[in-house]
Structure 1
Amino acid sequence: MRKLRLTADDDRVQVLCQNDEKLCSLIHVIGDYSIELQENYFETIIEKMIGQLLSVQAADAIRKRVRDLCPDMTPASLSLTQDRDLRAAGLSTSKISYIRDFIDKVNNGNLCLERLPHQSDEEVMRELMQVKGIGVWTAQMFLIFSLGRLNILPAADIGLQRGIRWLYQQKAENIDFEFIYKKWSPYCTIATLYMWELVNRKYEKQYSDMEELVKFP
């Protein structure tokens, strides 16, 4: 399985450090970091669709129940799963209809998953967003976690917003994502991963700001 590995001496990380002192301090506190890229594109998109507008815990529970119904998670096997069983697993009627639309587009060739790695970020998003229920956020998560694209800034993501508010001591309504994009490009994805990690480690709850974190790690 492919990984996106990040270290303090990585050239991409160094570019971010040169452009953003606060982010650089956070990177050095977090240290080496990596994510596994999800190479089963069909399964990944299904999982992202299931997780929309749900807590992590609720989404994980439903994913497990759906996987129990369909262990191999292919278009053919999932299309044979009954709606009543998917509802019993916790999926809403609307999400089931979105999943059916996704399966139909894959099966009839309107959406070719194998072609996505060879397309630009914008082309991938257009391809995915033709599916009912797949919006900007879901398409961006696919670009990050499956294709490993390096310059994705999911501005609507709550975790990213929380990280930015804490690191830069900003109110939510004052976040200038155009400025953030210019500051972090061409490695917005990498900066976003560090924002998510600071939230995962609960730095925003344990420390008032970056200065306190550096002083009392």
Structure 2
Amino acid sequence: MHKGEPTWWQDALTHFENDPIMGECIRTYGSEGLQGRGDLFYTIVRSIIGQQISVIAAESIWNRFETMVGIVTPENVRKFSKEDIASCGITRPKSGYILGLANDAENLLNFPYSTTSTQDIQKHLIQFKGVGPWTAEMVMIFAILLPDIYSPKDIGLVNAIKRLFPEVETMEQAEEVAKRWAPYRTMACWYLWRTLDPIPVEY
């Protein structure tokens, strides 16, 4: 897993220089953006915690969880019970998913992510309980740093596109709009989220 700025980030900035939407976003929010942690387990756990809650709520719960666990590794997570994890404000189902991933970390992590297609990465990830398409997409954006990922059911992305394109009414229409930002839809997602939240999205 790559740490720091994605290898394609500078190329994407150049690609979007004259894009009326992304170019303006880059000028508004700056050219520094997505940073990889190089830690897939960390990202997948943080994504599960962030499922269907606001960025601010997820940040608060994550901070409590990280304070309890310390460095978020499978070994450290396995030291705690489902009840311990839930005490951080995480729902009981999510607590079970996180513990399950820690217990099955070898199967989760020992996979050729860097040489596998997007579709096969998603198939691999969603076989783990608690990991659906959205969580898999967050992992592909924030851990694997693939350049052209769009998450069609992410409410934040849909709302950001609706604000920029008032004629858009549905998720399907938003997904169609996002196609204009290929082959760097990952960068587009990062800047679309920035238009909504004072805290940069991080998983």
Q: State the TM-score, normalizing by the size of structure 1.
A: 0.78
1:16·1:191 contact (CA, 8 Å) conserved in 2? no
CA distance in structure 1 between the partners assigned to 2:101 and 2:157 by the alignment: 27
Task: Tell me the residue number matched to 2:118.
Answer: 121
Q: Tell me if 1:43 matches 2:45.
A: no
Q: State the TM-score, normalizing by the size of structure 2.
A: 0.83
- Give runs of ≥4 in structure 1 deviating > 6 Å: none
Between Structure 1 and Structure 2, how many residues are aligned?
A: 197
Task: Tell me the residue number matched to 1:53.
Answer: 52
Task: Tell me the residue number matched to 1:2.
Answer: 4
Mapping of residues 38-187 of structure 1, within 5 Å: 38-106=37-105, 109-113=106-110, 115-173=112-170, 176-187=173-184
Query: Cα RMSD (Å) of the superposition?
Result: 2.6
Inter-CA distance 71–27: structure 2 relative to 1 (3 Å threshold): closer
1:150·1:187 contact (CA, 8 Å) conserved in 2? yes
Inter-CA distance 175–167: structure 2 relative to 1 (3 Å threshold): farther
2:8·2:147 contact (CA, 8 Å) conserved in 1? no
Structure 2, unaligned runs of 5 or more = none
Inter-CA distance 22–42: structure 2 relative to 1 (3 Å threshold): closer
CA distance in structure 2 between the partners assigned to 1:14 and 1:146 by the alignment: 23
More helix by percentage: 1
1:165·1:175 contact (CA, 8 Å) conserved in 2? no
Shift of residue 141, structure 1, vs aligned partner: 0.8
1:62·1:89 contact (CA, 8 Å) conserved in 2? yes
1:65·1:89 contact (CA, 8 Å) conserved in 2? yes
Shift of residue 95, structure 1, vs aligned partner: 0.9
Shift of residue 110, structure 1, vs aligned partner: 2.8
Q: Which of the two has higher C-alpha Rg?
A: 1
Structure 1, unaligned runs of 5 or more = 203-217
What percentage of residue pairs aligned between the two structures are identical? 27
Shift of residue 186, structure 1, vs aligned partner: 0.9
